[in-house]
Amino acid sequence: MQTNILTDEQYKMLSKKLINSIERHFKIIPLNTLKHHKYILIKPVYITIEMEKDVIIASFDDIEAFAYGDTEFEAINRLCEEIINIYEDLREDRENLGKFPKKWLAFLEEVIEKSEEK
């Protein structure tokens, strides 16, 4: 019976190939702004960018928000809009939220601050 054991060098090469393959389709980046005059991110949040065949998907798993776009820039901008919409909806209906929406609102209230309009 033959056992296939990778050498250290083969293992390193295989690991690099796997990481490069994943990085071409998926990455996690910090979001430092919501790109909105009324809301400020007081600390960065991390979003996921996935590259599919003809579309880019930006997602924010902490609140199960996502958006699509033809470009990374477009997907991120749409995700920012979605985060704001979710935040506003949750705040408006605060008294009727279920378990997960309450957690999402609590999280969003830790990272989003309403800006002082001048």
Q: What is the DSSP string of 75-103?
A: HHHHHHHHHHHHHHHHHHTGGG--HHHHH
Residue 16 counted as domain residue: no
Distance CA 81, CA 109 (A): 16
Residue 54 counted as domain residue: yes
- Count how many Cα atoms sit within 13 Å of the Cα of residue 30 in the half-sphere of its side chain: 7
pLDDT at 104: 95
Whole-structure pTM value? 0.77
> Domain range for residue 43?
25-113
Residue 9 counted as domain residue: no
pLDDT at 22: 61
pLDDT at 53: 81
| Helix, strand and coil percent figures for the chain, each rounded to 5 | 50, 25, 25
pLDDT at 108: 95
Residue 59 counted as domain residue: yes
Strands of the sheet containing 26-31, edge to edge, are: 26-31, 45-51, 56-60, 65-69
Residue 10 counted as domain residue: no
- Taking each helix axis from N to C end, the angle separating 99-111 and 72-92, rounded to the nearest 10 degrees, works out to 110
Residue 60 counted as domain residue: yes
pLDDT confidence tier of residue 117, bands split at 50, 70 and 90: low
Number of folded domains in the chain?
1
Encoded tokens for 88: 């506003």
pLDDT at 40: 92
The per-residue pLDDT for range 28-57, each reduced to its tens digit, is 899 999 988 899 999 999 999 998 888 999
The per-residue pLDDT for range 60-104, each reduced to its tens digit, is 999 999 999 999 999 999 999 999 999 999 999 989 999 999 999
Distance CA 56, CA 73 (A): 9
pLDDT confidence tier of residue 1, bands split at 50, 70 and 90: low
